[in-house]
Every structure is written in structure tokens, then in C-alpha cells.
Chain A
Amino acid sequence: MTDKVIVTNFSALKAKYGRGLTAIRAAIRRLIAADRKRGIQTRLVAIDSKSAMKRLGAPRVSDAADPEQNKKAIDGVYRKLLPDYLTLLGAVDVIPHQDLINPVYDGSDDPDADPDPCAYGDLPYACEGPYSRQPQDFLGATRVVGRLPDVTGASDPDYLVGLLRTAAGWRERDEADYLPYLAFSAQIWQRSTQQSLRKAFGSAADLELVPPNDSRWTAAQLKRLSHFINCHGAEADFHFYGEERRTGRQPTSHVSTWIDGKIVEGTIVAAECCYGSELYDPAKSDHEGICSTYLAGGAYAVIGATTIAYGEASRNTDADLMCQYFFRRVLTGASVGRAFLEARQEFAQSAPELDPMDLKTLAQFTLLGDPSIQPVAVPAPSAIRQPKGRAAVASAARVERRGRREALAFKGETIASTQAAAVRQPAARPSGRVRSDLMKLARAAKIMRPKMLSFTVTRPQAFAMRRSARAGASVRARTTFHVVLGARRTRVKTPVPPVVAIVAKVVNGRVVSTREVHRH
């Protein structure tokens, strides 16, 4: 019986830490002991170990940097042990993110488009499907997965030992403790962020906008347990940025050094920013990223995007939804891992067809933190007789948890077998009329030198055939998506201009809906 599996690559950790690995092993043992006291049976699996993987009937990892080897190894471990929680221990140089293809990458390095070749993330580790680089192959997550990262490129084990200490010593709090929040948003996304906060926390009254507020957050604000951030971010950068609606000016909104040593153990963070959960080597940029600094300060969970993220200015889509769904579930008492799985599932069902931006969002949003941590206590129903004694309580909790996992696995498999999604068609071109309509929209959005990408929609074949047979020709409509993206003209010159995309859904040759998304 295994409730939680921690997978890691000791060869990679040894290469980074040498003798420091002893301290990490000791911290892992303490975490496993702490889990046992909570009624969680945790097993450590070295995915690079020949003997350990042979015992589990799973292929071992011989090249730590190989995403396919890691996917196959972790799938093998998961299927053998069927844990309720799966923890990936280590940063991307220990267990790599999966290298899903970014559906809106056009093959160029043009910074005014989307220059990320991959939408890196851990989504495939949470899905049953075999290794693939196509994000549409991983729509239906079924597993509770989180990553407890060390620092990429690090040689001092203290950071990871600290995170393991946090994971071992976590404590529940009342929901009321998580309702006060620190939330800040680029001014241009005020309405969208207000909606997110109302849906997640019941009020948007404490939202801060950047600008005008571009000073450090106060100690009292930083000590709030929920942090919700809707700002710009950049590659290998330890700053986030706001954006002024009128001019496009982008002042600093958050910096790793502002939070270093100033947040409270138990903080939960949802960051919509580009690169908000990028685990970059701090040697590149003088300081660890904001996500890593939060975790070092005792945060229980950080969710964010590994590359460029998207959202709308006036309503909730894309990154807004992932963050909002996650917080809503944490507040109802889910573990951070289950909250994130349920957020992924809800997001994957948020549209009849997932468009290219949806796919990138789903692929790259990542949970950093031990997935078994349950920040908000769930009050026991008083009318029901409760089990007594630690073993009986743990056993009852396990039964309940297994039931939830089965239901979530079924739901994930249903999503995987029914949900439609966009697939890039480099050769496809919209008709002249559609193209003309899209270019008008691009001009209205002040997009300079727009680029266009086209997509068809695929639906899992078995489901599509059944549905088509029942409903006849009405469901055989030809749906395509077209994305026009480029830099938006601003009143003031900015080093990195805001990038905007128009996503158009076209059915049988007619534009039926459009949305304007902003690069975060």
C-alpha cells in the first residue's frame, strides 16, 4: 500500500551536490516519517536505479535530460504503485519538464510573436497517454502530481533541504486564514483580475493595480497567505511587471528580493505571468526566480506558466482560469495536488474545442510544491460518528481519498476520449473573406506586422464517430481556428512591446467568435 510516491534521479542529484546528497537523503527520510505520522505511506523511487526500477517492472532513466525516458519511467512507477500523490523531486536538471510543442510557435525567434518552441510542463506526467510532444495528446489529466524543485544548476543542498522541511512540517489552517489576499494586476487587466478575485475569494476590494502602485508591498500585505498575481514576466527574470492601460508603460510590480524572508510559511501563490514558474538557473540572472524564492520562504504551493502565458483584459480565460480554479479548490480543503488536477480538468472542459492558447496554457501550467499538502482544514461532519485512533482515521481518510482519485481518473479519461482541440496546420490558409475580417480585427487591436497561424480541430475519433452517427450532418461542421498575433502599438516606447493575439473560431467558412488575448 503506497499513498504517495516521490520520484527522483539520484545520479543527477549526486552530480549536483556530491556529498551534500547525504543531507538531502536525510531530509527525504524525515519527510517520509512525517507523512507516516499523518497516515500517508510514502515511498521513494530512484528512477535511475536499475534494481529499483526492475523491481517495479519499469524502464529506468539512463539520461536524466531525456523527457521520453522520464515519462516512460514515471508512467511505469505510477502504474505499478497507483499512488494518490506523485511528487517529482528536483528541478528540470533532475527530472525534466516534458517538451510539448508550443502550438503557437511559428518557427521564428520573433519576440513580437510567441518565440517559445516548447510549452514545457509536467502535464504528461499527470496523464495516462504515452510519451508524445503533441499537447492535444494530454487533455485529460488523471493523476495528482506536483514538483518539489531544487534550484537548477545548484550545488548547495540547503535550498532543497529547506523545501523538504516545509513539506514535512506543513499544517492546516482555517479557510478564513486564506481569504485575505495580496493580489496585484497590471492595470490593463484590472477587470479580468477583479472577476478572478470575486470568483476565488468573494471580493476584489483589495486588488492593487500596477501602475499606479509600483512600490514594494508592505510587510502586512506580504504576510497574507494567498497571493494572486496577474502581471507580465520574462524569461530568466526575477521581476514581474505591470502595464499602464493608456500608455503601455510597464513598471516593476514584484521582485524576488522584495519577498525574500518576508512571506509566511504556508503561502499559496497563483501567478498568471509569463515564465511565472520557470525554474531557471539563477547564475543567468543574479537571483532565483520569484517562484523559487516563494518556495524557499515556506510557500506550500506556487502555480504558474513555464513560458509565455496569455489572458484577456476584460474577462477570464487562459491563465486567469487556471489560477482561479486552483485557488477555489484549495479554499474548499483540497490538497494542493488535487486542487491542481481538478483545475486542469475544469480548464480542459472550459470550451467545446480547446483553441491553441488554451492548449498552451494547459500544457505549461505547473504546480510547484508537495502535492499532498492540504492548506485548508475541512471540518468533520459533526452528526456522523468519526473513527477513533490514528490508524482508523488514516484508514478512513485513505478510503475517501481513493474514492476521489477513482472519480477524478474516470473524469480525466472521459475528457481525454471526448474533448476536441486545435491542431496546427502550417499549410492551411483562411479564405479571403475570413482573412480580411481577421486583418481588420488586427488593425483595431493596433497589432503591427501581424502573423497568422491556422489550425484545424480534431476530436477523439471514436467519440466523433458515435456522435456523428447519432446527430447526422449537423455535427460534421468544419471548425478551424486562426490566430493573428504581433506587437501592439503603444504610446510610449517599451523595451518589450505588449504582444496581442486575436483568436478566431471559424465554422464552415464563417467567423463565429473571436477573442483578444494578451501576452502576460
Chain B
Amino acid sequence: MAVMLRTEEGDYVLRRKGGLAFDDEALEALVGKRLRCRGTLTGYTFLMTEYEEIPGNP
């Protein structure tokens, strides 16, 4: 139910670096989309520094 990044290695809570963990509309807009992203994994949270949408349905 959190905005999650599902990867082959595991699932992580997704957040934009420096962004809000709660109430981030830009993050919510990514729900259901395929992403290519770069960032840092800390604990169970993936902090994205860059991301782009990959066309096509998951």
C-alpha cells in the first residue's frame, strides 16, 4: 500500500531524495508505472535521485 519499488532483488519503499515520505503527490503519480531509477538504498527505503518512466504496462 505504500508506494513501493518492486525489483528482482526485493521490494522497497520508494521516495524521492529530499522529498516527502508522506503526502508526495509527484510520487503518487508514479504508482502503477514502470521506472528506471537511480538512487540509494537505506534500510527498506529506496531514495531516488533520478528516474524516468519506461513506456508500456508492467
Contact = CB atoms under 8 A, between A and B. Distances in A.
Chains A and B form a bound pair: yes
Interface of A: 109, 111-112, 115-116, 232, 234-237, 239, 241, 249-252, 280, 283-287, 448, 487, 493-497
Contact of B22 (A109, A235, A250, A280): A250
17 contacts: A111-B1, A111-B13, A112-B1, A112-B2, A234-B45, A235-B42, A235-B43, A235-B45, A236-B45, A251-B22, A283-B40, A284-B40, A285-B47, A487-B1, A487-B2, A495-B23, A495-B28
Contacts of B10: 109
Nearest to A243: B22
A280 B43 CA distance: 11
Contacts of B35: none
B32 to A, nearest CB: 12
A236 B42 contact: yes
Interface in B1-46: 1-4, 10-13, 15, 17-18, 20-24, 27-28, 40, 42-45
Contacts of B28: 493, 495
Given A241-B23, A252-B22, A283-B40, 13 more contacts: A109-B11, A234-B15, A235-B42, A235-B45, A239-B22, A241-B22, A252-B23, A284-B40, A285-B17, A487-B1, A495-B22, A495-B23, A495-B27
Contacts of A494: 22-23
A115 B41 CA distance: 14
Contacts of B4: 111
Contacts of B47: 236, 284-285
5 nearest A-B residue pairs (beta carbon): A234-B21, A286-B18, A250-B22, A241-B22, A115-B44
Contacts of B27: 495
A111 B2 contact: yes
A448 B2 CA distance: 13
Nearest to B23: A250
Residue among B4, B22, B47 with max Cβ neighbours from chain A (10 Å): B22
Contacts of A241: 20-23
A252 B18 contact: no
A109 B44 contact: yes
A237 B21 contact: yes
Contacts of A234: 15, 21-22, 45
A112 B3 CA distance: 11
Contacts of A286: 17-18
Contacts of B18: 285-287
Contacts of A236: 42-43, 45, 47
Given A112-B1, A495-B3, A495-B28, A251 B23 contact: yes
Nearest to B14: A495
Contact of A496 (B2, B17, B42, B43): B2
A5 to B, nearest CB: 32
Interface centre among A112, A287, A496 (most CB of B within 10 A): A496
Nearest to A118: B43
A496 B12 contact: no
Contacts of A287: 18
A102 B21 CA distance: 22
Nearest to B22: A250
A252 B20 contact: yes
A251 B2 CA distance: 16
B44 A235 contact: yes
B12 A109 contact: yes
B2 A239 contact: no
A352 B15 CA distance: 40
Contacts of A495: 2-3, 20-24, 27-28
A280 B21 CA distance: 15
A111 B20 contact: no
Contacts of B12: 109
Contacts of B13: 111, 235, 496
A109 B4 CA distance: 11
A252 B18 CA distance: 13
Contacts of A239: 20-22
B37 to A, nearest CB: 15
A115 B4 CA distance: 13
B44 A249 contact: no
Contacts of B21: 234-235, 237, 239, 241, 495-496
A233 B18 CA distance: 14
Contacts of B43: 115-116, 235-236
B45 to A, nearest CB: 5
Nearest to A487: B1
A172 to B, nearest CB: 38
Contacts of B20: 239, 241, 252, 495
B26 to A, nearest CB: 10
Nearest to B18: A286
B17 A497 contact: no
Contacts of B42: 235-236, 280, 284
A54 to B, nearest CB: 37
A495 B11 CA distance: 15
Contacts of A235: 13, 21, 42-45
Given A115-B44, A235-B43, A284-B47, A497 B1 contact: yes
B27 to A, nearest CB: 6
